[in-house]
Amino acid sequence: MKQTNATRRLGQQLQEKLGYILLFEVADPRLDLVTLTGVDVAPDRSYARVFVSCDEARYDEVLEALAAAKGRIRSLLAHALDWRVTPELDFRIDRSTDEAERITEALKQRPATIDVEKDEEGYPIAPADPADATDQETD
Tens-digit pLDDT profile for residues 106-138: 888 877 777 788 888 888 887 766 555 555 555
pLDDT at 138: 55
9, part of any domain: yes
132, part of any domain: no
Higher pLDDT, 133 or 45: 45
| Residue 37, domain CATH | 3.30.300.20
76, part of any domain: yes
Decide if 93 contacts 54 (C-beta within 8 A): yes
Query: Around Cβ 11, how many Cβ atoms within 10 Å?
Result: 19
H-state helical runs in the chain: 5-20, 59-80, 96-108, 130-138
138, part of any domain: no
130, part of any domain: no
26, part of any domain: yes
Domain span including residue 64:
5-97
Strands 35-41 and 88-93: unpaired
Q: What distances in angstroms separate CA 110 from CA 21, 100, 123, one per listed residue?
A: 43, 16, 18
pTM over 0.95: no
- 97-114 mean pLDDT: 84
For residues 54 and 73, give the distance between their C-alpha atoms in angstroms, rounded to a whole number: 19
Paired residues of 36 in beta bridges: 52
Which candidate, 56, 63, 52, 53, places its Cα nearest to that of 30? 63
138 CB-near residues (< 8 Å, 6+ apart): none
For residues 24 and 17, give the distance between their C-alpha atoms in angstroms, rounded to a whole number: 11
User: Radius of gyration over alpha carbons of the chain, in Å?
Assistant: 26
Taking all residues of the chain, what is their mean pLDDT, rounded to a whole number?
87
56, part of any domain: yes
107, part of any domain: no
Q: How many domains does the chain have?
A: 1
pLDDT at 124: 82
